[in-house]
């Protein structure tokens, strides 16, 4: 059930493949599984069909819930990255320097994966319903594999301190009150915002652009933010390599 080192190294590529397949949903034409409408529209239509509220009321409800999921995802990703650091968040190998007991890590052990999951919930609203189901299920399984893999690695690297941390802080369901006192750590907010441009872009798309009812516009905005994140990542990597060469 645990993710391998290869899966961890190529975790971004794997997520991209899953998301692309979710949007593409090639099985729709092959198996005649329904019209190619967004999950956002489909949910509003289903709520209307069930007689709960009208379509015109259901649509903004779904949009607000999607924006809320995107907001939770962006906050957790930025908050977690601010304390963990850009290098560790995007490193190709698992890192186990010390137990992190600051920021969101006092409430939940895996805020980045939890935030990523909420991001996927939000972005799946722009996919066809079957594509959204496909994406959420596969991403949930993949994140659990990554979580278990990292926990095994950290347990081997850090030993008893990490075992005590696991006892005090839940894996994925955050506590309302911190399980441990805060360690001294300085958050790097600017680096975190730059590292999580995609998460912020998904929130902007769901919270503001969704009111245009133009899914293509929202997808373009998210792709632009993703492109910016790749540029930031490339710049950060070249800066790190340059610093190592100078040393």
pLDDT in tens, 45-85: 999 999 999 999 999 999 999 999 999 999 999 999 999 98
pLDDT of residue 10: 95
In the structure, what pLDDT confidence band is assigned to residue 244 with cuts at 50, 70 and 90? very low
Rounded alpha-carbon distances, angstroms, from residue 10 to 5, 90, 94: 9, 10, 12
Residue 77 in domain:
yes
Residue 243 in domain:
no
Residue 92 in domain:
yes
102 is in which domain, residue-wise? 5-26+37-237
Residue 204 in domain:
yes
Residue 78 in domain:
yes
Least confident of 68-72, 102-106, 233-237, 243-247: 243-247
Angle at CA 27, nearest 5°, toward 26 and 29?
Answer: 85
Nearest alpha carbon to residue 118 among 77, 79, 175, 70: 70
* pLDDT mean over 88-93: 86
- Structurally, the chain folds into a number of domains equal to 1
pLDDT of residue 247: 38
Residue 107 in domain:
yes
pTM of the model: 0.92
Residue 43 in domain:
yes
* pLDDT mean over 113-125: 97
CA–centroid distance for 58 within its chain: 26
In the structure, what pLDDT confidence band is assigned to residue 233 with cuts at 50, 70 and 90? confident
Residue 242 in domain:
no
């Amino acid at each position: 059930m645990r993710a391998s080192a290869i899966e961890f190294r190529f975790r971004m590529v794997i997520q991209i493949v899953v998301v692309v397949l979710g949007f593409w949903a090639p099985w729709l034409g092959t198996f005649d599984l329904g019209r190619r409408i967004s999950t956002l529209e489909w949910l509003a239509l289903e709520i209307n069909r069930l007689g709960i509220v009208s379509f015109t009321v259901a649509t903004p409800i779904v949009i607000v819930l999607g924006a809320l999921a995107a907001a939770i995802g962006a906050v957790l990703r930025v908050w977690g990255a601010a304390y963990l650091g850009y290098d560790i968040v995007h490193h190709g190998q698992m890192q186990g320097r010390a137990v992190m007991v600051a920021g969101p890590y006092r409430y939940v052990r895996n805020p980045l994966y939890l935030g990523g999951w909420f991001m996927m919930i939000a972005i799946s609203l722009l996919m066809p319903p079957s594509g959204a189901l496909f994406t959420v299920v596969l991403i949930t399984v993949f994140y659990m594999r990554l979580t278990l893999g990292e926990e095994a690695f950290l347990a081997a690297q850090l030993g008893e301190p990490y075992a005590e941390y696991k006892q005090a802080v839940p894996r994925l369901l955050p506590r309302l009150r911190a399980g441990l006192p805060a360690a001294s750590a300085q958050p790097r907010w600017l680096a975190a915002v730059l590292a999580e441009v995609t998460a912020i872009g998904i929130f902007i798309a769901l919270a503001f652009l969704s009111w245009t009812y133009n899914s293509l516009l929202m997808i373009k905005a998210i792709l632009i933010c993703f492109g910016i994140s790749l540029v930031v990542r490339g710049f950060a990597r070249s800066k790190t390599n340059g610093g190592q060469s100078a040393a």
